Structure 1
Amino acid sequence: MPVVAFADIGKAAKGLLGGDKATGTFQFDPKVSVSSTTSSGVSLTASATQKADKVEATLKAAYSTKKYSVDVAIDPSSKVTASASVSEVAPGIKLSLSTVVPDPKTAKLTLDYSMPYLALKSTIGLTATPVVDLAASTGYQSFVLGAETSYDTAKSALSKYNVALGYHAADFQVAALLADQAKTLKLSYAHNLTPVSTVGAEVTRKLSSSDTTFALAYARKLKSGALTKVKLDGTGLLSALYETKLTSGEKIAGSLQLQATDLSKPVKYGFAVDLA
């Protein structure tokens, strides 16, 4: 089995606290999405999100096979983000190319290499003075160790370096990340208490100032199939999510957020509707 990639160390806690498909994502701006798949296998998604008095609409198209994938997205500013990838160029190697039109400076080439005890990811900007990103991880059984760095050729200097250590068991994950050029320490934990309930936590400490923040979250899937999640951070901000799928296929999610330490502050809420 391939080793866990650097970006996936502590993935369960990242998803629970930050949002993912398995545990849901808090949505505090009204959002409506319409998804469909053509007979040729192209997936189309149109979405509209209201932010203040503006509505931001995006259109995405994706096509993938076992070896190839192509994604194109158009944002409200008419920028087109395009990416394409080819898997198994050689054993364990995947190549990807991405760019934002009309800015050629955003073009990047990414190489992913995966094998049982090593995972590498290298991204290089296709410019005269590119930024080169490199991430690597290795592991044994449930332990994984990884590091990532960025080298700015224009400045001839490292612009980023992070180190992570994780333990990924079948029902829980623990991870420690030393980030921001060794200025920030993050400790995260996620545990599947039962097949339908998950709890997680993250503690972040700024080593230069000794400032510490934390966040706790709990997600549970109800018998009806609906998903619920609550999250509390160190400032007393409490967020709640309820997500369900109708028998006709539509997915509806509602979120609210309040300041638990000061109930006089206005409650923030939003919803998301996905029409498949």
Structure 2
Amino acid sequence: MTTHSLIPTEMSINFCTPESYLTCVSVIFQLDVQYVHPHAMLHSSIGLNPTPLLDLSANIGSQTVCLGGEIGFKTASSLLTKYNAGVGFNKPDFSAALMLIKGRVYEGLTPHTVNPTTSVGAELIRHFSSHDNSFTIGSSYSLDPFTTVKARLSNNGKAGMVVQSE
């Protein structure tokens, strides 16, 4: 039996300028710090206990190109819990991304606008540890302003289709 009790508390401190802001939040033994700027973001989180988890993420970019990453570290075991990075390219009719997520490389082109009602996309995944590749293609078609039909097909024979209606 313990006589200690935890009371959830939150404290937030904001520092604002016309272009950016910094926020520090402490919630039950965890400190979050976030810095946001129109073209950059930095976020960190650390547990306030003897063996804290540390998370750090950052990104920088513009409307056309962005670069980002995140890392997680478990101090008790000195292990990385996550290590991810990515770069993206964006244009009005398509976007492309290359991401490294825990030993897997995701490459995607999603979506490419063929015309105002039709778009297509593809995703390629490379698993470095097993040397496996997977590939998925997909398409969407707007029947009307409220209804869209989407379909996809992967290299392992899985197919999917959905009809969305608002």
Same fold? TM cut 0.5: yes
User: Tell me, what secondary structure is at the counterpart of 1:222?
Assistant: strand
Corresponding residue for residue 54 of structure 2: 132
Identical counterparts, % of pairs: 29
| Greater relative contact order, per chain length (Cα 8 Å cut-off, separation 6+) | 1
Query: Which whole-Å CA distance do the structure 2 matches of 1:138 and 1:155 have between them?
Result: 30
Confirm or deny: 8 A CA contact 1:111 1:123 kept in the other structure: yes
Query: Which whole-Å CA distance do the structure 2 matches of 1:224 and 1:139 have between them?
Result: 32
Runs of 4+ in 1 over 4 A off after TM superposition: 94-98
Which amino acid letter does the alignment assign opposite residue 126 of structure 2? R
The 5 A counterparts of 1:76-87 are: none
Corresponding residue for residue 27 of structure 1: none
Query: Which whole-Å CA distance do the structure 1 matches of 2:26 and 2:160 have between them?
Result: 37
Report whether the alignment pairs 1:188 with 2:92: no
Corresponding residue for residue 205 of structure 1: 126
Corresponding residue for residue 239 of structure 1: 160
1:17-46 Cα distance to aligned partner (Å, 9 max, x none): xxxxxxxxxxxxxxxxxxxxxxxxxxxxxx
Corresponding residue for residue 172 of structure 1: 94
How does the TM-score come out when normalised to structure 1?
A: 0.49
Which amino acid letter does the alignment assign opposite residue 109 of structure 2? Y
Query: Which whole-Å CA distance do the structure 2 matches of 1:241 and 1:96 have between them?
Result: 40
Change (3 A) 1:90 1:226: same
Change (3 A) 1:85 1:221: farther
Which amino acid letter does the alignment assign opposite residue 232 of structure 1? L
User: What is the aligned residue count?
Assistant: 153
Higher strand share: 2
Which amino acid letter does the alignment assign opposite residue 145 of structure 1? L
Change (3 A) 1:227 1:126: farther
How does the TM-score come out when normalised to structure 2?
A: 0.77
Which amino acid letter does the alignment assign opposite residue 22 of structure 2? I
Report whether the alignment pairs 1:217 with 2:138: yes
Change (3 A) 1:223 1:138: same
Report whether the alignment pairs 1:90 with 2:15: yes
Aligned-residue CA RMSD in angstroms? Answer: 2.8
1:55-88 Cα distance to aligned partner (Å, 9 max, x none): xxxxxxxxxxxxxxxxxxxxxxxxxxx9x897x9
